[in-house]
Amino acid sequence: MTDSQDAAPLFQPVTIGRYSLPNRIAMAPLTRSRTDNATGVPTAMNAEYYAQRATAGLIVAEATQISPQGKGYAYTPGIHSAEQVAGWKLVTDAVHAKGGHICLQLWHVGRISHPDLQPGGALPVAPSAVKPEMKAFTVDGFKDIPAPRALDVSELPGIVEDYRRATRNALAAGFDMVEVHAANGYLIDQFLRDGTNKRTDAYGGSVENRARFLFEVLDAVVAEAGADRVGIRLSPLSPANDAQESDPVGTFSPVIRRLNGYGLAYLHMIEGVTRGPHPGFGGDLAELRGLYTGRYMANNVYDRAMAIEATANGHADMIAFGRPFIANPDLVERLRIDAPLAEPDQKTFYGGDRHGYTDYPTLKQSAG
């Protein structure tokens, strides 16, 4: 470590929305499927996991369903019941006790689900009845996802209200902020993209129509929390979860331009294909990123050198790390002193107990 690296903006404070954060390293949202499947209530083990990672400038907690219908994976948490709010309070209290900040990612999976995960064994819902070529993670293992049921226009205000209630619940549970999950081919992204949205009503066709649902959700969330406590996550260049789009720049440019008017806490962008190689800082990414005037959080396969560079040259205000935070609870300290990073075990990413979850040691603990 040199003095100049320690002074790098990555390790310096930043203002995000109404908060002053101690560094520019965020923990990216990571589904770990470690809550009770029937109730979706977070536990003391989840609180311990997040508290271990509280030196992140900001933790974006795992995607959390806004309603029973919004669920698409076994053992994921919710934010629609009083018990879930109480469970999340354990998490936010534990993170705040360590001086951290924590944001909740609000999730409706749309078609990326299975009747086993839906209330009453119903079909998952989506803008249009387009079947994803994907499998769902259920309690009985992976199962083929069927074609979803297309939502009737009369159902959409109810889903927007679910986002509003989830925001209110997240604030009651002690979260500092919420992040609208509009990435990775889930419901909002399904509305945005021409491969998954074949509607002929006011929510389909033109880019403005396909973005209507996103902005109705955002208006509701912002009305509850205030724009300075709301972030949004997009993945314009990622076909994650079989979300096809014939013209990503054409579709996402007007969306990003319109987001400028909201004064949000941040725009969180997955750069390139989620978990794929970084696309480089030119081309479509440069075009899309250049449109945004507010705080920008970059993510996807960043390493230490890229993160230092991107926060020094004006590309990003924060860098979100996903997989590195799984195996390195003290990631901020390791990056600061340029220590080696532990590798996460993919077999324990989803489901299971504390093994591969709360038992990754810090550098200090490994040194005994």
Ligand X SMILES: Cc1cc2nc3c(=O)[nH]c(=O)nc-3n(C[C@H](O)[C@H](O)[C@H](O)COP(=O)(O)O)c2cc1C
Query: What residue ranges bind ligand X (CB under 6 A)?
Result: 28-31, 62-63, 105, 181, 183-184, 233, 270, 274-275, 299-302, 321-324, 349
Shortest CB 273 distance to ligand X, Å: 10
Cβ atoms < 10 Å from Cβ of 151: 22
Say if residues 292 and 42 touch (Cβ distance below 8 Å).
no
Q: Which residues contact 218 (CB under 8 A, 6 or more apart)?
A: 180, 230, 232, 262
Q: Is 49 a catalytic residue?
A: no
Three-state DSSP state, 48: helix
Q: Which residue, 150 or 259, is less far from ligand X as judged by CB?
A: 259
**Helix, strand, coil shares, percent, the chain, to 5:** 40, 15, 45
Q: 262 vs 350, which CB is nearer to ligand X? A: 350
| 3-state class (DSSP) for residue 76 | coil
Name the minimum Å distance from CB 301 to ligand X: 4
Residue number, nearest CB to ligand X: 322
Residue 22 in tokens: 């101690």
Nearer to ligand X, 87 or 322 (CB): 322
* Tokens (6 digits) for 263: 């004064």
With contact defined as beta carbons under 8 Å apart, do 255 and 192 qualify?
yes
State both tokens at 344: 């996460």
Point out the catalytic residue in the list 186, 203, 357, 360: 186
318: closest CA among 132, 169, 177?
177
The nearest distance, CB 153 to ligand X, in angstroms, is: 27
Report the nearest approach of ligand X to the CB of residue 270 (Å): 5
> What's the number of CA atoms in the CB half-sphere (13 Å) around residue 179?
27
Select 150 or 324, whichever has its Cβ closest to ligand X: 324
* 365: exposed, middle or buried (Cβ count in 10 Å: 0-12, 13-18, 19+): exposed
Neighbours of 242 (CB within 10 A): 17
Q: How many CA atoms lie within 13 A of 176 on its CB side?
A: 21
Distance of closest approach, residue 145 Cβ to ligand X, in angstroms: 17
Nearer to ligand X, 41 or 301 (CB): 301
Minimum distance from residue 105 beta carbon to ligand X (Å): 6
Q: Alpha carbon 229 to chain centroid distance?
A: 15
CB 222 within 8 A of CB 164: no
CB nearer to ligand X: give 72 or 124.
72
Question: Which tokens in the block code for residue 98?
Answer: 């360590």
Which amino acids are annotated catalytic?
Answer: 186
